[in-house]
Structure 1
């Protein structure tokens, strides 16, 4: 099931390739490295569907989509927990 990010969350890919997420609601910032940036962009393009995002990434990297899907789910769980 697609879960769009909090509407109070802003995202910006910085010139160094790192994604910066900022929650206006909590005031928290988080910087993501290239891996997190790739997952965010794939999720955005896939309508926030982890399965579709994993398929996209796995095609580009030539890896098993199930392993990518696990990484995406863990990454999303981290942010859900941080938002509490």
Structure 2
């Protein structure tokens, strides 16, 4: 399964490395830390396949892939609750 942004979501990476996600469902943009910016970019580059994202970032950051996957799952859950992403087959 893959996680994809909803059609109305746009992303802007700010000069400070933070990510702003804009959606018609939110009154104001959701601002994310630079670590989440990296996760978002990796998700988009890997078609939303979270295992591939976790492996890529774990390798880049020299940390355990399970730890990255756990953090990624928590963040994706928050994005889903905010109506920004959805599961794709």
Q: What is the TM-score normalised by the length of structure 2?
A: 0.86
Query: Residue 36 of structure 2 aligns with which residue?
Result: 36
Matches within 5 A, 1:1-80: 1-80=1-80
The two structures, once aligned, show a CA RMSD in angstroms of 1.5
Q: 5+ unaligned residues in a row in structure 2: which ranges?
A: 85-89
Structure with the larger RCO, 1 or 2 (CA within 8 Å, 6+ apart): 2
For 1:81 and 1:25, the matched residues in 2 are separated by: 11
Aligned length: 84
The SS at the match of 2:38 is helix
How many Å apart are 1:5 and its aligned residue?
0.8
How many Å apart are 1:74 and its aligned residue?
0.5
How many Å apart are 1:26 and its aligned residue?
3.5
Return the structure number with greater strand share.
2
User: 1:6-33 deviations in whole A, cap 9, x for unaligned?
Assistant: 0100001011111100002443410111
Q: What is the TM-score normalised by the length of structure 1?
A: 0.91
The SS at the match of 2:22 is strand
For 2:35 and 2:43, the matched residues in 1 are separated by: 12
Contact kept, 8 Å, 2:25 with 2:83, in 1: the verdict is no
